[in-house]
Amino acid sequence: MVVVVVPGVLVAVAAGVRGVLRVALAPLLSVGVVGVAAVVAPVVGVRWGWPAVVVGTAVSAAGVGLLRTVVRWTPARSRGPAPADSPAVWLASALGVVAGGSSLAVGFARGTGGVTRWPQTFDAVFHLSASWHVLTGGDGSSLTLGTLTSPGSARGFYPAAWHDLVALVAGISGVPVVVASNGVAVVVLAVAWPLGALALTRVALGARLVPLAAAGALAAGVAASPVVLASYGTLWPNALGTALLPAALALLVVVLRAGAVATVGPGGALVLLPVAAASLVLAHPNTAVAWLVLGVVVAVAVTWPRGGRGRWLAVAAVPVTVWLVAWSPAFAATRATSWPARESVAQAAGEWLLLGPQRLPVPLVVAALTLVGAVGVWRRRQVRWLLAVHVTAGALFALVAGSDSWVARLASGPWYDDAFRLAALAGVTAVALAAAGVDALAERLRVLAPGASCVVSGAAVLVAVVVATGGLSWSATRTVTSWWYRYESILDSGETALLERLPREVPAGEWWRAARSTVRPSPGRSATASRSSRTSPAAGVRTGRCSALICARQRRGPTCARRPVGCT
C-alpha cells in the first residue's frame, strides 16, 4: 500500500493540494509516477526497483512544484490559497473509506480462495508472466513490454503500470508473483477505488460530512466497478485504470471550476493533469479514453450555460473525441475484435439503471440511492454534469452490450467491443450520485424530525445504509470474484501439485526437460525462428545438432517417456 499512496501524497503536496484530496488523489498520482519512472529507468540504465521509484518521486514532485510556481502567475492566483478540511471532514472520510475498503478486501479475499490462487484465464497467464518478466529482467517500460508476445520486435507498447507495481511488491517482499498480484489487486480495490470515489464526491458535493462518509462505504456496493475486471478476463490493468478514473475526473472538474470549493485550486489541479493522464495511459489506455469522453461531457455541460469562448472550445473537442474513439489508428487492432451482443439495448439500459450490468448482482439499495441522488443533482445546476456523465457512460454501455450495429462497433473500439469493460464504468459516477442520495435522505429526516441535529440525522441514515448494504456488498464481491478464480480450466489440483514439485525433482540446468522460457509465451502470438523450429513437426530433421543433444540426454535420463522428434 505504501507504493500506491506515498509517492502520490508527496506529489500532491508539491501541487498545493490540501485536505482529504491530498490522500484521495494519491493512488492516481502514484501510479503515474511509477509508470513513468519505469519507462525512464532503462533509458538511463537503471534496473527496475524501489530506488527508481524514489528518484522518480523526487523528480516528479520537483517538476510539479516548479510548474505550480509558474501557474501562480496566472489569474487563478487571485482566488487565494485553497481552504483546508476540518478534522470532522477527515474523520467522516476515513470512516467511510475504511468501511468500504474492508468490505471489498474481505469479499475479494474470500472469493479468491487463498492468496496463492490465481484466476485461470489466458489473460491472467499473460499478466503473471509479464510481471515475472519485469521482476527478473529489471525492465518495466511500457514501451517494450509488448515484445513479450512478439519476441522478434525491438519495441512493443503494452501498458505496464500494473506489472510494475506487482514486480515492486514481489521484489521488496520476496513473495511469489501470484501472491503479489493478489495483494496489489486488494490494494487497488480496497484503497485506490474508495479513495477515488471520495475524491469525486468531495469535488462535486463539497465538504459535507454525510456524503463524504457515504462515498467510501458505498464504493463497495457496485460489483461491476471495478471488482468484475479483477476477476473476469482477467483484466487487472483495466481494473487498475478504472479504479483511478473517479480521481482523474475530479481533477478535470476542479480545472473547469465545475464543482464545490475544493482543497486544490484550478492551477494546482492543472499541473497534475499530465501525471493523471500518464497514470491512466500506462494503467490501461481505454481508461484514458473514457476519461477524455467523460471529461468532454463535463466540459460541454459546464461551459454551455456560461457561454463565451469556453463553450465553443468544449464543442470543438467533441468531433476530435469521436474521431479518436471511432477511427483513430491507435485503436485499429482492438477495433478489429468482436463480441456479439447478448441482450437488447433496452435490457442493457435497465441493467445500467439497476447497477447490475452484464447480469452482475444488483445492489438494490445503492441503485435506489443513485436514483434519489440523480433527482437531487438535477435540481442543483452546478453539478448537473455528474448526471450527464452517468447517462453518457450508460448510453455507451447499452449501445455496445445490446447492438451489433456498425455504430456500436465504432464506438466500442478502445474497449475491444467488450461490454464488461464498459460495465465497469457504472460505479465511477454512481457512487457519488448515491452519496448525494444519502445526503438528501439525511436532510429529509432532519426536516421530519426538527429536534434532530444534522449530525444525528446524517448518522442515522448512514448506519441504515451501511447495515443494508454491508453484507450484500461483501457477498456480491465474493461471488463475482469466485466466478473466475475458482475455475480449473487451465490447471487442475494435480497439475498444480506437479508444478510445485518440479523444482525439487528436475536437475538444475536440464533445460530440455523444464525450461523457464516457454516456446510460445501466449496463445496465438508470434514466435522467433528458433522457437518456431521447436514447434515444427520436422524440428528434429532441421535442427540436427540440437536434436542430437536432446537424444543423447534422453538416453541418459529415465524421467522422460516420450522420444523427441528426430531421435532414432
pLDDT of residue 488: 75
For residues 449 and 531, membership in a common domain is answered with no
pLDDT of residue 286: 95
Cell numbers standing for residue 202: 468531495
Q: Which of 294, 229, 225 is nearest to 434 (CA)?
A: 225
Contact assessment for residue 198 and residue 101, using Cβ atoms and an 8 Å cutoff:
no
pLDDT, tens only, 189-226: 999 999 999 999 999 999 889 899 999 999 998 888 89
pLDDT of residue 527: 55
Q: How does DSSP classify residue 170?
A: H
Tell whether 428 is covered by a domain.
Answer: yes
Could you tell me the CA-to-CA distances from 430 to 112, 369, 375, 446, 480 in Å, in that order?
26, 9, 13, 24, 19
Please give the Cα distance from 503 to 507 (Å, whole number): 8
pLDDT of residue 547: 38
Tell whether 318 is covered by a domain.
Answer: yes
pLDDT, tens only, 525-560: 555 555 544 444 333 333 333 433 333 333 333 333
Helix 161-173, helix 2-14: angle, nearest 10: 120
pLDDT of residue 215: 93
For residues 443 and 549, membership in a common domain is answered with no
Please give the Cα distance from 406 to 352 (Å, whole number): 22
pLDDT of residue 471: 52
Alpha helices in 327-405 (DSSP H): 332-335, 345-353, 364-378, 384-402
Could you tell me the CA-to-CA distances from 400 to 295, 346, 358 in Å, in that order?
20, 12, 11
pLDDT, tens only, 383-442: 999 999 999 999 999 999 999 999 999 999 999 999 999 999 999 999 999 999 998 988
Please give the Cα distance from 72 to 447 (Å, whole number): 44
- pTM, entire model: 0.87
For residues 188 and 79, membership in a common domain is answered with yes
For residues 403 and 546, membership in a common domain is answered with no
Tell whether 491 is covered by a domain.
Answer: no
Tell whether 148 is covered by a domain.
Answer: yes
pLDDT of residue 49: 94
Contact assessment for residue 366 and residue 222, using Cβ atoms and an 8 Å cutoff:
yes
For residues 364 and 417, membership in a common domain is answered with yes
Tell whether 515 is covered by a domain.
Answer: no
Query: Into how many domains does the chain fold?
Result: 2
For residues 312 and 447, membership in a common domain is answered with yes
Tell whether 284 is covered by a domain.
Answer: yes
Q: Of 453, 470, 485, which closes a domain?
A: 485
Tell whether 508 is covered by a domain.
Answer: no
Q: Of 459, 485, 511, which closes a domain?
A: 485
For residues 81 and 172, membership in a common domain is answered with yes
Q: Which of 213, 169, 174, 208 is nearest to 194 (CA)?
A: 213
For residues 168 and 304, membership in a common domain is answered with yes
Domain region containing 554 = 527-568
For residues 477 and 568, membership in a common domain is answered with no
pLDDT, tens only, 108-118: 999 998 888 88
Q: Of 456, 485, 514, which closes a domain?
A: 485
For residues 535 and 465, membership in a common domain is answered with no
**pLDDT under 70: residue ranges of the chain:** 73-82, 154, 449-472, 509-568
For residues 227 and 161, membership in a common domain is answered with yes
Tell whether 293 is covered by a domain.
Answer: yes
Cell numbers standing for residue 279: 497514470
For residues 103 and 33, membership in a common domain is answered with yes
